[in-house]
């Protein structure tokens, strides 16, 4: 509900696709929305900014198919706001540039519904920039024209003044025009534009699947057809297209055009995906594990009550630290109650999780596996010590056995569970089958086992598909599990961190 129970509509431009091009205000409006009404967005990750209880209504439009007529969309916005709901109308690009946002705003105004327009980064500007094409340049042109390329080819007369357009604008940008590319070129040539005028067509601009084809008014139609250019795409006509070879940057990134599957839990995947995306990869999010609390907090809460009895707390994951601290705070305690207790962390990221609570771990091994933790403990006398290990419900017993063998009393409590999420695998099946995946990444043994389990009914087919796909594992334990499942492991980084993993992936794919 909005303030004082009054509804409101935000007409939000989501930009052309790159999630980083959504404005801060657009994100803030999404976060407070009760209802998100969205189009055929280039990047549906924007929906993740909405609150969990938000309702999502798809009203998208594709070529020759409208999920909901525009009149019905207008009625929907008015109706939901009239009920007192905050509505985020999320539109690709900018709402007021060939987006019919003006029509929606007019209907809202006529109905007396409060609304705001949140401008978006239009593809007319962003996509050329990502292709290395400045729309204006002092050595080429100071004028730009934005034109719809979606005119109905069956109507008798064009609303576009082609003669004026051909001679008055130094750069012309056509949106939604790839289906009419031949006609656009013909009209410009008929109006007197030189056949040698440079032209670029850019498909799925600002996304890691971006594809650019360049030619001139005479050749671009054939070149675009040969390259199988499909919507969404924009067309740029003008001499500035010639700067592309010099100023192009997006498509020159080291992993551009590579498609990598990330199987890590959604809550943990964002940093890893950001690293790969910045290198140019297209990340396919396919979480095979979900982190959830234990069935009962009884054991953990009892351990928190008995904190004074422990000499060490040993943590093997960021999740273990997070859930332990959560129950510590729930008991009305904080870091001061850990005074005198030493802390061990399996690696630097787990250590960082402790830093957030103002605690610096006493032990972080050089190698980030349980065996290395045990080896590091040899510097200490654990005889008679009491050790608490908050960990996943299912985990290797090597750590607790190794510490117990040193004479310590060990209490293991369940901090969290990892489960296989229920999800549709058809899209992933098709990508693997068609050989459209370059690499599948695994960050734990659970991700491997659950990935294989999702294809249990077609294991033979999966193994055939995976023959043409690289497999990367974050560490030797994960790699051992992958090999036991019959997978050929192509990559294990020397250091078992996300940063080292991303770097090793880059090096591997650049060589292949």
Domain 293-418 CATH assignment equals 3.40.50.10090: yes
Q: For 446-457, what is the mean pLDDT?
A: 93
Q: What is the pLDDT of residue 435?
A: 93
Mean pLDDT of the chain: 92
Active site residue 245: no
Q: Give CATH for domain 259-289+421-511.
A: 3.40.50.10090
List where CATH 3.40.1010.10 sits in the chain.
3-121
Is 60 exceeded by the pLDDT of residue 76?
Answer: yes
State which CATH number among 3.90.550.10, 1.10.3680.10, 1.10.10.10, 3.30.950.10 fits the domain covering 125-252. 3.30.950.10
Give one word for 198, left, alpha or beta, with left for phi > 0 and alpha for psi -120 to 50: beta
Q: For 39-54, what is the mean pLDDT?
A: 88
Active site residue 349: no
E strand segments, 370-425? 386-392, 409-419
- Give me 225's structure tokens: 């057809």
Phi, psi of 329 (to 5 degrees): -70, -35
**Which has the closest alpha carbon to 175: 253, 92, 243, 113?**
92
Does the predicted TM-score (pTM) go above 0.85? no
Is 60 exceeded by the pLDDT of residue 452?
Answer: yes
**Which has the closest alpha carbon to 347: 322, 323, 321, 317?**
317
Say which CATH superfamily domain 3-121 falls into: Tetrapyrrole methylase, N-terminal domain (3.40.1010.10)
Q: Which of 18, 34, 39, 438 is catalytic?
A: 39
List where CATH 3.40.50.10090 sits in the chain.
259-289+421-511, 293-418
Is 60 exceeded by the pLDDT of residue 26?
Answer: yes
Q: What is the pLDDT of residue 155?
A: 60
Q: Could you tell me the pLDDT band of residue 62, with boundaries at 50, 70 and 90?
A: low
Rounded Cα–Cα distance for residues 79 and 291 (Å): 38
Q: Which of 8, 34, 91, 176 is catalytic?
A: 176
Is 60 exceeded by the pLDDT of residue 382?
Answer: yes
- Give me 320's structure tokens: 């273990």
Q: For 207-236, what is the mean pLDDT?
A: 95
Length in residues, the chain? 512
List where CATH 3.30.950.10 sits in the chain.
125-252
Q: What is the 3-state secondary structure (H, E, C) of 89-121?
A: EEECECCCCCCCHHHHHHHHHHCCCCEEEECCC
Q: What is the pLDDT of residue 368?
A: 83
pLDDT 10s digits, 265-314: 877 778 899 999 999 999 998 999 888 999 999 999 999 999 999 999 99
Active site residue 300: no
Is 60 exceeded by the pLDDT of residue 357?
Answer: yes
Q: Could you tell me the pLDDT band of residue 1, with boundaries at 50, 70 and 90?
A: very low
Is 70 exceeded by the pLDDT of residue 7?
Answer: yes
Q: Could you tell me the pLDDT band of residue 208, with boundaries at 50, 70 and 90?
A: confident
Q: Which of 44, 61, 333, 480 is catalytic?
A: 61
Q: For 314-342, what is the mean pLDDT?
A: 95
**Which has the closest alpha carbon to 214: 224, 206, 205, 204?**
224
Q: What is the pLDDT of residue 5?
A: 57
E strand or H helix at 10: strand 8-13
Q: What is the pLDDT of residue 191?
A: 96
């Amino acid at each position: 509900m909005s303030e004082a129970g009054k509804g409101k509509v935000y007409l939000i431009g989501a930009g052309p696709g790159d999630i980083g091009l959504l404005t801060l205000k657009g994100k803030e409006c999404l976060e407070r929305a009760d209802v998100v009404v969205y189009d055929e967005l280039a990047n549906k990750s924007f929906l993740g900014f909405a609150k969990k209880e938000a309702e999502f209504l798809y009203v998208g439009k594709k070529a020759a198919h409208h999920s909901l007529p525009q009149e019905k969309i207008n009625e929907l916005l008015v109706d939901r706001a009239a009920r007192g709901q905050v509505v985020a109308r999320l539109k690709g690009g900018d709402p007021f540039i060939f987006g019919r946002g003006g029509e929606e705003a007019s209907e809202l105004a006529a109905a007396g519904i409060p609304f705001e327009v949140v401008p978006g980064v239009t593809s007319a500007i962003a996509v050329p920039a990502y292709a290395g094409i400045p729309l204006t340049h002092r050595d080429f042109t100071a004028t730009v024209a934005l034109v719809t390329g979606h005119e109905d080819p069956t109507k008798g007369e064009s609303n576009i003044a082609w003669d004026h357009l051909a001679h008055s604008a130094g750069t012309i940008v056509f949106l939604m025009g790839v289906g009419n590319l031949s006609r656009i070129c013909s009209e410009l040539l008929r109006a007197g534009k030189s056949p040698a005028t440079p032209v670029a067509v850019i498909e799925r601009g600002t996304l890691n699947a971006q594809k650019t084809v360049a030619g001139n008014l005479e050749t671009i139609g054939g070149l675009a057809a040969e390259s199988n250019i499909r919507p969404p795409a924009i067309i740029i006509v003008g001499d500035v297209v010639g700067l592309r070879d010099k100023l192009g940057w997006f498509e020159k990134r080291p992993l551009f055009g590579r498609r990598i599957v990330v199987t890590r839990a959604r809550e943990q995947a964002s940093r890893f995906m950001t690293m790969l995306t910045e290198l140019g990869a297209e990340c396919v999010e396919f979480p095979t594990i979900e982190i959830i609390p234990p069935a009962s907090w009884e054991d953990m809460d009892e351990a928190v009550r008995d904190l004074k009895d422990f000499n060490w707390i040993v943590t093997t994951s960021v999740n273990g630290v997070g859930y332990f601290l959560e129950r510590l705070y729930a008991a009305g305690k904080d870091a001061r109650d850990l005074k005198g207790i030493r802390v061990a962390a399996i690696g630097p990221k787990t250590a960082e999780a402790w830093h957030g609570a103002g605690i610096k771990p006493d032990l972080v091994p050089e190698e980030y596996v349980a065996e290395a933790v045990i080896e590091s403990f040899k510097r200490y006398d654990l005889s008679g010590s009491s050790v608490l290990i908050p960990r996943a419900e299912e985990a290797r017993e090597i750590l607790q056995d190794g510490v117990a063998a040193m004479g310590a009393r060990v209490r293991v409590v369940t901090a969290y569970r990892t489960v296989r999420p229920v999800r549709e695998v058809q899209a992933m099946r098709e990508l693997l089958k068609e050989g459209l995946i370059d690499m599948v990444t695994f960050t734990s043994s659970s991700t491997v086992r659950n990935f294989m389990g999702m294809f249990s009914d077609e294991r033979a087919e999966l193994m055939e598909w995976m023959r043409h796909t690289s497999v990367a594992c974050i560490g030797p334990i994960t790699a051992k599990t992958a090999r036991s499942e019959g997978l050929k492991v192509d990559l294990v980084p020397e250091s078992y961190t996300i940063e080292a993993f991303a770097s090793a992936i880059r090096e591997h794919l650049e060589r292949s």
